[in-house]
Structure 1
Amino acid sequence: MPGMSTDTRAFRIVEIEPGDPAALDASYEIRRAARAHDVPDFPPLCRRLHDGAIRAGWPGVAQSTWLLRDGDRPLGVGTVRLRQVDNLDNADCEIDVHPDHRRRGAGRALYRHIAGYVRAAGRRRLLAETCGTLPGGPARDGCGAGFARAMGFADALHEVRRTLDLSGVDTDGYQRALAEAWRHADGYSLVQWRDGTPTEHLAGVAYLGGRLLSDAPSGDVEWESEEIDADRQRARDEARAARGMRTYSSALRHDRTGRLVAWSMLVLLSSPPDHAWQDITLVDPPHRGHRLGTIAKIANLRYAMAGEPALRFAHTWNAAVNEHMISINQAMGFRPVDAWIEWQQEIPRD
């Protein structure tokens, strides 16, 4: 279905070609403006990440991105991601309309185009995400949730984003928390690395990464475990590097078996340098109860702080019911900011 385009009344929807700089500029400007409006405390959208995602996609995922125009004016952009190895019934979608042109049918036109594309690809399920206001938190525009409901999506998972302002962290408290956690972790050792996964850890990281979708609370979202092996993990590392991402990883190795049994990773983008994003924290079930998650998260944050002198904020998301991980984040100083909803829809048939 490459090059698929649609005319919808006054709108024209055309797939973005990776080598079209004008289309990339238009897509970036729409998503930059949408992000600034919808989540104003986020840093400006990283241009290198935006362009790299359209040009190269992600290992094991087929991605298409379309630009919606009204005449010559670009108003909206939509992306679909189809996993090629696992979760073959699902499709992820992302729809952004410039804040100055919302509630005029552009989002609905993009949705209809995407739903038709996903239906033609044989997928059964469409997934999306929106940000909203958390009680007591800063106001967020609720148009995303309203749009999702109007298009027939059901809310499948409620999450909360928490942010840590590193200018006020209690570093002595971190040291005490680590010392206390290590009292429960006899027989484990800490290993750390930046960026690409060391060859000796590829299999362990691939195993832990593959467990995330099945181990983390997922509400009503229908996800299977990912099938990740060492080659796929290496390809992911290469894709991150191509997009200008820097990563910091801390893992716990079980000394008796030599296996990695816990892993936490933070991601920083090529711009700006003062925000980090929590990618994964996971402990293999047989090794839970030894404070390994606490050790991995605190040790990794300290590792990133030492390597990134400009780092000021860290962001993490947790399912609202994930009390254990929330308690760790709260103890580290993360504070709730806004509410996020994972939406799911069975694709309507013609």
Structure 2
Amino acid sequence: MANEVRVEQLWIPDSVDGPDAADFLAAVEVGRKVRMQTWGSDDLAYAPLEKLLEMADPYERQVILVAKVDGEIVGTVDIALPLADNLDVAEFALDILPEFQGQGVGRQLLEAAEHFARDEGRSTILIDTNHPGATLADGMAGQLIPGSGLGFVPLKSREVEFAQHTGYTLQHIEQFSSCALPLDSKLVADLQAEAEAANAGRYRVHHWTDRCPEQWVEAVAALENHAREDGIPGADDGDMVFDAHLLREAEEAAIAQGRRTVVTAVEHLPSGTLAGLTTISVLALRPDVVFQDDTVILEEHRGNKLGLLIKVANMERLTEQFPDARVLYTWNAPENRYLLTVNQQLGFTTAGVTGIWQKELPDFGPTVS
């Protein structure tokens, strides 16, 4: 390309209003424009303050590299380095302004990010590509199947070709779905009746927001560990074992970032144990756009429509507490038929898929002392 591309690390300001925040605001705007291009809305884009709050996440170090052409930021790569587990992993999110795509900017940014990750001792790189539903229906685009699980990404898409050319391998697919809120009241009544008939009065739901009641802390930590062992998408699959202390730390970190957490759990009355839970996150500055987090049901309690019971209850609870919420987004593994069926009953529709790609960086050379 004619213009020279300069890659540098982004300065993270103390506030979005300061005189040194211009580059940070421009970098966040690149992400917004790319999401507008991909999804037709900026629902999945960060507001500047939201991004600034996220940079202080105690569980991962975040660094942003930017590509500048003539002093203007035209591309960014967010680098997330997990700090609690998965210490060999770096996760990248690469965004290039539409008018600068296909000109080598992405390749330069990605190479710089890989060098940075290698210098930080990270050898496994994860990156994702996003594909709206319309691109999946294009029979001419071909299909690339992941290394594990179901689903596909369109083989001839620009993002897929870029990932392959830069040495990444498609690991798995996550189905991305959305549901309009609030739920229809007749639908809610029907689904609640169906769920309650199936569990025959053996279960009771419990709700909380932000902080788990003391009596359930150990049980919730155990459910989180169960989600990890099960490899539930969205649950971290590292070696960190959740306990009451870590759960409280995670709650405090979410509150510090301005995030609200709406939880519904279900108790098995005969044994007094928690059989499952589901969580929705509400971001500080976008109460209209909310995100479904883990839904976990212990194996021995499946088949009682508990997933349906707690998801309906939690979405109703969300609407009571956050009446501005108009859309709920979720990601699921395509092979998780159980949750996908529940989501379909609730009115979720597929918006597209996210492909998760992996690359192993070459071995580190011997260190010379």
TM-score (norm 1): 0.86
Pair 1:53 & 2:67 matched: no
* CA distance in structure 2 between the partners assigned to 1:311 and 1:321 by the alignment: 28
- Give the deviation of 1:217 after TM superposition: 5.4
% identity of equivalent residues: 26
* Match 1:13 to one of 1, 8, 11: 8
SS at match of 1:290: coil
Report which stretch shifted further, 135-144 or 204-213: 135-144
Q: Which amino acid aligns with 1:17?
A: I
1:121 corresponds to which residue?
120
Pair 1:178 & 2:187 matched: no
1:83 corresponds to which residue?
82
Pair 1:30 & 2:30 matched: yes
Equivalent pairs counted in the alignment come to 336
2:141 corresponds to which residue?
none
- Give the deviation of 1:299 after TM superposition: 0.6
Report which stretch shifted further, 265-274 or 336-345: 265-274
SS at match of 1:184: helix
Q: Which amino acid aligns with 1:11?
A: R
* CA distance in structure 1 between the partners assigned to 2:229 and 2:102 by the alignment: 37
* CA distance in structure 1 between the partners assigned to 2:125 and 2:157 by the alignment: 20
Note if contact 1:211-1:226 (Cα within 8 Å) is conserved in structure 2. no
Alignment of 1:319-334 (within 5 A): 319-334=333-348
Q: Which amino acid aligns with 1:46?
A: A
- Give the deviation of 1:39 after TM superposition: 1.9
Q: CA RMSD in A?
A: 2.6
- Give the deviation of 1:281 after TM superposition: 0.8
1:73-123: CA deviation from partner (whole Å, max 9, x where unpaired): 112222222222322332211111222222222211121112112222332
Unaligned runs of 5+ in 2: 15-19, 139-153, 365-369
Q: Which amino acid aligns with 1:310?
A: D
Alignment of 1:221-300 (within 5 A): 223-224=237-238, 226-300=240-314
* CA distance in structure 2 between the partners assigned to 1:324 and 1:192 by the alignment: 23
SS at match of 1:183: helix
1:189 corresponds to which residue?
204
* CA distance in structure 2 between the partners assigned to 1:15 and 1:258 by the alignment: 51
1:112 corresponds to which residue?
111
1:5 corresponds to which residue?
none
- Give the deviation of 1:223 after TM superposition: 4.0
* CA distance in structure 1 between the partners assigned to 2:223 and 2:128 by the alignment: 24
Q: Which amino acid aligns with 1:48?
A: L
Q: Which amino acid aligns with 1:105?
A: G
1:23-47: CA deviation from partner (whole Å, max 9, x where unpaired): 3212211112122112223425333
TM-score (norm 2): 0.82
1:38–1:213 Cα change, 3 Å: farther
SS at match of 2:242: coil
Note if contact 1:195-1:237 (Cα within 8 Å) is conserved in structure 2. yes
- Give the deviation of 1:22 after TM superposition: 2.5
Which stretches of structure 1, 4 residues or longer, exceed 4 Å deviation after superposition?
135-141
* CA distance in structure 2 between the partners assigned to 1:211 and 1:86 by the alignment: 17
- Give the deviation of 1:137 after TM superposition: 6.7
Q: Which amino acid aligns with 1:299?
A: A
